Structure 1
Amino acid sequence: MIILFLCIAFNTILVSGSSLSDQVHQTPPDLFSKQGERAKISCSHSIDNYNRMLWYKQTNRELQFLGNMLARLPTPEKGLDIKLEGSADKGQNCTLTTERLELNSSAVYFCAASYHSPYSTPAYFGQGTKLTVLEPGLNVTAPTVKVLKPCKNQKGNKTLVCVASGFYPDHVSVSWEIDDVVVTKGVATDNAALRNGSYYKITSRLRVTEEVWYTEGKKFHCAVRFYDGTGYIYQNKTIKGKWKVVLTTDQYLWISRAAELSYSVLIVKSCIYGAFVAFLVWKLQGSTGKQDD
Structure 2
Amino acid sequence: GEPEAYVAQWPEKILLRPGSSLTISCYQNYSNLAYMFWYQQPPRNGLKLIVSSSTWSHNSYEDGYSEAKFEVTRQNTDYSLMTIKNVTAHDAATYFCAANDHTVLWTMLLCVSGKNEEIIPPAVAIFSPSKQEIQQKSKATLVCLASGFYPDHLTLVWRVNGVKRTEGVGTDEYSTQNGSTYSLTSRLRMPAWEWFNPLNRFECVANFFQNGTTASINKVIHAYVSSHSWAFIPGLPFYI
TM-score, length basis structure 1: 0.67
d(CA) in 2 for partners of 1:199, 1:74: 43
Distance (Å, rounded) in 1 between the aligned partners of 2:128 and 2:13: 32
CA 1:141–1:76: 2 relative to 1, 3 Å: farther
Which residue of the other structure, out of 115, 124, 130, is the alignment partner of 2:108? 130
Native 8 Å contact 1:71 1:87 kept in 2? no
Match 2:39 to one of 33, 48, 56: 56
Equivalent-residue separation in structure 1 for 2:58 and 2:148 (angstroms): 42
Deviations 1:216-269 (A, max 9, x none): 120111111101241000111111133759678xx9xxxxxxxxxxxxxxxxxx
Bigger Rg, structure 1 or 2 = 1
Structure 1 residue matching 2:131: 3-state secondary structure: coil
Alpha carbons 1:70, 1:87 under 8 Å: kept: no
The equivalent of 1:140 in structure 2 is: 119
**Which of 128-137 and 201-210 deviates more?**
128-137
Higher helix share: 1
Unaligned runs of 5+ in 2: none
**Structure 1 segments unaligned to the other structure (5+ residues):** 1-19, 115-121, 252-293
Question: What is the aligned-residue identity percentage?
Answer: 28
1:133 CA drift (Å) = 2.6
2-side partners of 1:160 and 1:176: how far apart?
A: 10
The equivalent of 2:90 in structure 1 is 104
RCO higher in structure (CA 8 A, sep ≥6): 2
> Which residues of 2 match residues 1-293 of structure 1 at below 5 A?
23-47=6-30, 49-59=32-42, 60-71=44-55, 75-77=59-61, 80=66, 81-87=69-75, 89-90=77-78, 92=79, 94-114=80-100, 122-126=101-105, 128-138=106-116, 139-155=118-134, 156-242=138-224
Could you give the per-residue CA deviations for residues 23-55 of structure 1, whole angstroms, max 9, x where no partner exists?
Answer: 432222222223322122222234574343210
Query: What is the RMSD of the two structures over their aligned residues, measured on CA atoms?
Result: 2.6
Whole-Å separation in 2 of the counterparts to 1:227 and 1:151: 33
Which amino acid in 2 is paired with 1:149?
S
